[in-house]
Amino acid sequence: MRTLLRFLKPYRLQTAIVLGSLAVNLAGVLLVPTILANMINIGISTGNFDYIVTQGMFMLVAAFVSGAGAFACNYFCADLSTKVGRDIRNAVYDASLAFSGGDFEQFGTGSMITRTLGDVNVIQQAITMTIQMMLPVPFAAVIGIVLACSIDMQMGIMLACFVGVVAIIAVASVGKAAKIFQKLQQFIDRMNVRLRESITGVRVIRAFGKEEMERQSLDEAFSSYATNAIRVNWIFATFDCSSFFIMNIAEVATIWLGGNRVGAHAMEIASISACVEYAMLILFFIMMAQISALMLPRALVCLERCRRVIDHEPSIADGPADQLAISDGGAAAQNAEAPVVAHFGNASFRFADADEDTLHHINFMCRRGTTTAIIGPTGSGKSTIAKMLLRFHDVTDGSVRLCGVDVRDLTQEALRDHISYVPQKAWLFSGTIADNLRYGAPDATDEELWHALDVAQSGFVRELPDGLESRVAQGGTNFSGGQRQRLSIARALVKKADLYIFDDSFSALDFKTDAALRHALAQEVSHAAVLIIAQRINTILNADQIVVLKDGCIQGLGTHEELMRTCEAYREIARSQLRADELEALMDDAAEPDDAVEVSEKPVVDAKGGE
C-alpha cells in the first residue's frame, strides 16, 4: 500500500481531481431524483408551473455538472492509472539494470518479465477498478443517506441499515470468492503445463506411441478445470441472486415505510421514489464494487512482487574511480598500457546461498598480447571467473585487478569500458546486424564492421541481400546458433578493449569454423589480452597459458605441452575428448611442439577409440 502511495505522490493533483470530480458526479446523480421528487410534489400540491420550470433548470444543471464530473473523473482516472503503471514499469526495469548476476537470478528472467508486464497490468487495472467501481460506494452511500435523512430521518436510518447489511454480505462473499479464485488459478496453470508438455514433447510422444495417454491426461486437466470453474460460477450466481433479493426487499420496505411517513405528514409522496432511487443506486454500486474487489488481493500480490524488485538493494556497488588511473596514483598512460591486464590475487568466491566456495584461491594473470584459456568441467567455476572480471559477481576474498586496479575501486562503467565480452549464450538484439555490431562502439565505420565479421568467420552476412542492414529478430532467432555466436564474437571485436573474454563462445561452431576463427583471432587481438573459456580441448591447444579448473580450484597452469606432462586433471579431459591415436599424437607434440599441427592432421585411421 505504501508502495502505491509512493507512486501516486507525483500525481497528487490528478488524484485530487479524480476524487473531486467523482464527488461532483455522484452528487449530481443523486440530486436528479431529489429534484424530480420536488417537482412532482409541487406539481400535485400547488400546481405552480413556474416553480417546476425553475426546478427543471436546476435538474438540467445537476445533470450537466454530473456528466462533466463523470468525464473529468474518467479522463484523469485513465491518465493516473496509466502514468502510475508506466512509472512502476520504468522503476522495475531501472532497478533491474543495477542488479548483479546473483540479484537477477534471485528473481529469474521469466518472473522479471511477468513483474514488468503482467503484474503492472493487473495493478493498473486495479487502480482503474478502484476508482470507477469502488470509490463511488462511500461517496454514494454518504450523499444518499444524507439526502434521505433530509427528506425524513427514519427513511435515512432504514437506508443506512440496508446499506450496512449489504456491505457486510459483500465483504464476506468477496473474501470467500477471492480464495476460490486463487485455487482456480492453479487449475489454469495445470492446463497450461499439460498443454505445453504435449506440444513440446510431440516427437517423443509419437515415437513412443503414447498419443492416447497424453490425450487422457489433457482431458483430465481440462475436466478438473471445468468442474472448478463451474463451482466458481455457482458461487457467483449465489451472490448475484442474494443481492438481487435484498434489493427487492429494500424497495418494498422503502415504499411501506415511506407510505407510513407520508401518512404521518413527515414527508411527501413523490419523495418515496427518490428514496427508492437512492437505495437502488447505492446497492448497485456496492454490487459493482463486490465484483471488482475480487481483483484487489491479486493486485496487492502483484504490487508486492514489483516492490521487491524496486526495493532490492543491488549487491554490487560502484567504486569511486571512473578512470583506471586514479587508484594508486600512477600515471594514466602507464595503467592503460599495463602489461598485466587482469590479475586474480588469491580470489575466492561464494554464492550468497551456498555452503561452499565456488572458487578457491584463484591466482593467475592475463598478459597483454597473450591468450589465456580456462578449461574444466561444467560447474567447475569457469564462467564465474569471467563474471568476476566483469563484476557481475564480487570476490568474497582476495582481489581481482584490471591493469593493476582493484575492480571494486572502479565504477562498473569504467571497468567494462576496458573489457569486451562474448557471453556463453549468444544473444543479439532486434534491429539490424549493424546495430548489433556497433553495440560496444557506436562510431565504428562499416569497414571496421566488415573486418570484424571477416575475423569472426561471418562471411554469410555478405550473402544476405541486405548485408549489414539485414534484420535481426529478437534474440537473433532468425540466425542459426553458430551464426549467432559468430555475430556476437564480431560484436565483441568491434569494441576496442584491453581484455577480450570469450566465454565458451565456440561451442556451437563446427570444427572447421572453430579452427579458422581462432586462427584469424590470434592476429586480430594482439594488442590486448585474451581469455578463452572452453570445454573442447581442441579450442585451446595453442593458448599461451591454460588454466585447468576443477571444483573451483586451479589444478594446473601452463601450456598444453606442460600440462600433458604434469597435470593429471588435464590429461583426463584430453583422454575423454580425444581418441587414443590423437592423444598419442598430442603426447608426441609435447615432446616436439613444432610438429603439433602436422601430426594431428594425420590420425591413424584404423585405431579404434580406446577409452
Partner 1 sequence: MTMEKHDTTHMSAEQPISAAANQVAEGATSQMLEPARPGAPDPEPEQELEVPRDPKATLRRLWSVSTGEHWRFAVVLVCIVCYTVSHIAAPAYSAHVIDLLWGNIQEAFARGESFSIGWDTGGRELLIFVGIWTLAWAFYTIQNFTMASFAERLNLKLRRLIAEKLNRLPLKFYDAHKPGDVMSRATNDLDKVSEVLQRGLLSMLIAVGSVIGAAIMMVRLNLVLALVFFVFAAISVVMTRLVAKKTLVLAAEQQRAVGILTGHVEEAYSGRIVIKAFNQEQASSHRIHEATQRLADTMRKTDFVTNVVAPMVRCLVRFAQVVLALLGCGFLMQGQLTVGTLQAFFQYVNTAAEPLTQFSLTMNQLQSALAAVERVFGILDEPEIDPDPAEPAQVVRPVRGRIAFEHVRFGYDPDRPLMKDVSFVAEPGQKVAIVGATGAGKTTLINLLMRFYEIDGGRITLDGVDTHAMTRADLRRNFGMVLQDAWLREGTIAENIAYGCPDATKEEIVQAAKTAQVDFFVRTMPHGYETELANDAENISQGQRQLLTIARVLLANPAILILDEATSSVDTRTEKAIVTAMERLTQGRTSFVIAHRLSTIVDSDLILVMDHGTIIEQGTHEQLLAAGGVYADLYNSQFA
Cell of 579: 581418441
Q: Which is nearer to partner 1, 325 or 441 (CB)?
A: 441
The phi, psi pair for 517, rounded to 5°, reads -65, -45
SS (HEC) of 339-399: CEEEEEEEEEECCCCCCCCCEEEEEEEEECCCEEEEECCCCCCHHHHHHHHCCCCCCCEEE
For residues 137 and 105, the answer to whether their CB atoms sit within 8 Å is: no
Determine the Cα–Cα distance for residues 446 and 42; give it in Å rounded to an integer.
87
Comparing CB distances to partner 1, the nearer of 78 and 330 is: 78
Q: Which residue has 514489483 as its cell numbers?
A: 306
User: Is the Cβ of residue 395 or residue 499 nearer to partner 1 in the bound state?
Assistant: 499
From the CB of 402, what's the least distance to partner 1, in Å? 14
For 374: left if phi > 0, alpha if psi spans -120 to 50, otherwise beta; the answer is beta
Measure the CA–CA gap between 41 and 207, rounded to whole angstroms: 83
Q: Which is nearer to partner 1, 594 or 611 (CB)?
A: 611
Place of cell 591454460: 546
Which secondary-structure segment (H or E) carries 551?
A: none
d(CA 175, CA 181): 10
The CA-CA-CA angle for residues 580, 583, 586, to 5°, reads 155
How far apart are CB 326 and partner 1 at their closest, in Å? 19
Look up residue 93 and give its three cell numbers. Answer: 526495469
> Smaller CB distance to partner 1: residue 443 or 601?
601
Closest to partner 1 by CB, 312 vs 536, is: 536
Check: CB of residue 130 under 8 Å from CB of residue 8. no
Nearer to partner 1 by Cβ, of 348 and 432: the residue is 432
Q: How far is the CB of 518 from partner 1 (least distance, A)?
A: 9
**CB under 8 Å, gap of 24 or more: what pairs does 599-605 form?**
603/579
Q: Which is nearer to partner 1, 301 or 330 (CB)?
A: 301
**CA pair distance 155, 275, nearest whole angstrom:** 8
> Closest distance between partner 1 and the C-beta of residue 89, in Å?
4
- Whole-number minimum distance, CB 463 to partner 1, in Å? 8
CB of 370 to partner 1, least distance (A): 21
Residue with cell 541486405: 466
- 233 or 334, CB closer to partner 1? 233
DSSP track, 511-543: HHHHHHHHHHHHHHTTTSEEEEEES-GGGGTT-
Closest CB to partner 1 among 114 and 348? 114
**Closest distance to partner 1 from the beta carbon of 346 (Å):** 25
Residue 272: which H helix or E strand, with range?
helix 271-293
- Minimum Å distance from CB 257 to partner 1? 9
